[in-house]
Structure 1
Amino acid sequence: MRSKIFAGSSIIVALLMIAGIFFSLPYYVSKPGIAKELAPIIQVADGTEGKGSFMLTTVRMGRANIYSYVEAKLFDYVELYPVEAILHETETQEEYNARQLHMMAGSKLNAIEVAYKKAGYPVDYEYKGVYVVQVVPDMPAEGKLRSGDRIIKVDGQEFSSSERFIEYVGKKEAGDQVELTIKREDKTKTVNVSVKPFKDDPKKFGIGISLVDDKEIIVDPKVTVKTDEIGGPSAGLMFSLEIYDQLMEEDFTKGYKIAGTGTIDSKGTVGPIGGIDQKIVAADKAGAEIFFAPNEKGGKDSNYKLAVKTAQDIDSKMKVIPVDVIDDAIGYLEKLPKK
C-alpha cells in the first residue's frame, strides 16, 4: 500500500515539475547571454585579420515559467518584465520575433554603410520592397497578410521606399482596394486589400500594417554578415568596428578582447540599448578587457554609467569606455598601445 502511495506521489510530483516548465506566466525573463567573437560572423572579402577580437554581447530573453520566475527573484542580473512591456499592443510572439530580426537587418545595413564610408569606400542600395512586421487586428490586412510577408508591388507598380508606399495607400478613400504583390516563403502571390480609416485617427487611411524597408546594400569589396537568429539592433556599433577593422590595414584590436554594445544609425551615432548590466556580466565572463558602452551624451541614467556601476559591483577588471559616435571608439583604439 505504501509503495502505491509513494509511486502515486512521485507521478504527481513529476507532473507538477513538467507543468512548471511548460506553463507560461505573464512575464518575460532576461538574463546575461554570451559574448561572441565577430570575426567568424563577419567576413570582408580579402579583409585583414587582427590579433585581438571584437565581440558582440547578448541578452537571453524568453517567456517566464515557474522556474525562471523563481530564478529572477533569487539571483542578480536576472530580470522580469510584464508581457506588455515587451510586446506592443496586440502584437503576437511571431510578430515580435519578426520585428527583432528586421531590426537586426536594419542594424547590419547601417553598420556596413558607416564602416565603408569611414574607410573611404562608396556605398549604394538596391531597394526590394517592404517587410510586414505586424498586422493590426480588425483592419483589412488581417487574414490576408502576415508578419514576414514582403510586399514588392502595389497596384502593379514598384515603389522606392516604405514612405512612398504609405503615401500612395494613404491617398486612397475608404472602401478602395489596392492590389498587393507579395512574396511569402519564396512564393509570389497577389492579394486584394481594402482601405479603411484607422480607429485612433479617422482622417488617416491604410490597410493596417506596420512595415520596414527591405533593401540590399551594394559595396565593394563584398561583406557577409551571418547573424542566424540573433535579433535586435544592439550589435550595430560592434558590427561597424569589426567591418572597419577588416577594411583597414591597421589592426585596431591590437591584441585585446574588445566587447561592447549600442545601436548605430547611418550617420554613425551610437544609441542606448536594454540590458546593459547583463551584457557587462556576459562580457566579463568571456574575458573581455575593454567594453564600449553608449554614453547618451553623459546623461544621468546613461548606459555607460550603469555599465560602470555593474562592472564595479562584479569586480570586473574591464575598462568601460563611453561612446556617443563611432569616432569615439575608433579614436580610443587608435591611441590604445599594442598588447
Structure 2
Amino acid sequence: MAIGLAASIAVSLVAYAYSAQQINLLTAELADKSRVLEEQRQQIDEKTVQLGLLNLQIESLENEIAAKTAEAQDLSQTVDAQRNEIQLLKAQAASLQDDIHELEQQIQANENEIALLTGQMQETQSQLESFKRVKVGHYSLAVDQFGKGIVLPIEVEIIPSGEGIVSIDVKNVKYETGFQDSVRTAVLVASEYSDISVSDKDIVIRVINEDDELITIDGGSAGALLTGMIAAGLMDREINPSVLITGTIESDGTVGHIGSVDKKADAATDFGAETILVPEDQEFNHSSINVIGVSDIEDVMRYFTS
C-alpha cells in the first residue's frame, strides 16, 4: 500500500515537473508570441499612420485632380470658344480678302481711268498752252512834237496757234512806215535770237498815249526795245522794269543810231528808271541816270532780262 502510494506520488511529481516544464515552455513561447504580437501591433500602428498619410496625400491629389479637371473643363470651354472665334475671324478674314480683291480691282480700274484722264488733261493743257496768250508790258522812249522826251506804255502780246501775223494797235498814236519796218525786223531778230519760230504765232504791238495830243512815231528808235520784249515773251523771261531802251535794231541783231538820246535820257530820269540802254557809240555820262551803250541784242538781253 505504501509502495503504491509512493509510486503514485512519484508519478505525480514527475507529472508535475513535466507540467511545470511545459508551462515554462509555454510561458516562454507565449512571451515570444506576445513580443511578436506587440511588434506586429507597433508595425500596424506605423502602417496605420503611413496609411493615414497616404490617405491624406490621396485626398490632396484627388482634390488637385478635381481642380485640374475643373480647370481643364474651363480651358476646354475656353479653347472651344477660341476655336469658334478663330473660325469667325477666318470667315471675316476671307470676307475681307474678297473685299480687298474687289478694292484692288476697283483701284486698278481707277488707276487706268486716272491714267486716261491724266493723258486727256495733259493733252488739254497742251492745247490750252497752245492758246495761251503771252503779254509783255514795258515803256518806250520817244520825242513829242515839241522836241521833248516822253515815255509811252507799250505792250507785246504773243498769241500761240496763230498764222504769223504781226499787227500794230495804237491809241492817240500815228505811226509811219519806218516804225512798221522796225517792228517786222524786231520780230525776225527776236525769233532768231530765241530760236523759236513765230510762223505759227500772231504778234500784236500796242502803243498807248494817254494824252489827248496825237503823237506821230516814225523811225525805228523802239526797235531794240521791241526785240527785247518779243524775245522775253518767247523765252518766258522776266524783264527788268528799271531799265529803259532806245535804239534801232538791224536784221543782224546790232543796235543802231537814234536821235535825241539826251532828251530820252532826261525823260527816263523823270520817269524813275535807273538805267537807259543806248547804241554803243552814243553812250555818254548823265548826272542822274546810268547810261549804258549796247552793241547788239545779246547786250540788250543781258541788261534787260533776268
> TM exceeds 0.5?
no
TM-score bucket of the superposed structures, by smaller chain: 0.3 to 0.5
State the TM-score, normalized to the length of structure 2: 0.43
Whose helix fraction is larger, Structure 1's or Structure 2's? 2
Q: Which has the larger radius of gyration?
A: 2
TM-score (norm 1): 0.39
Q: Which has the higher contact order (CA 8 A, sep 6+)?
A: 1
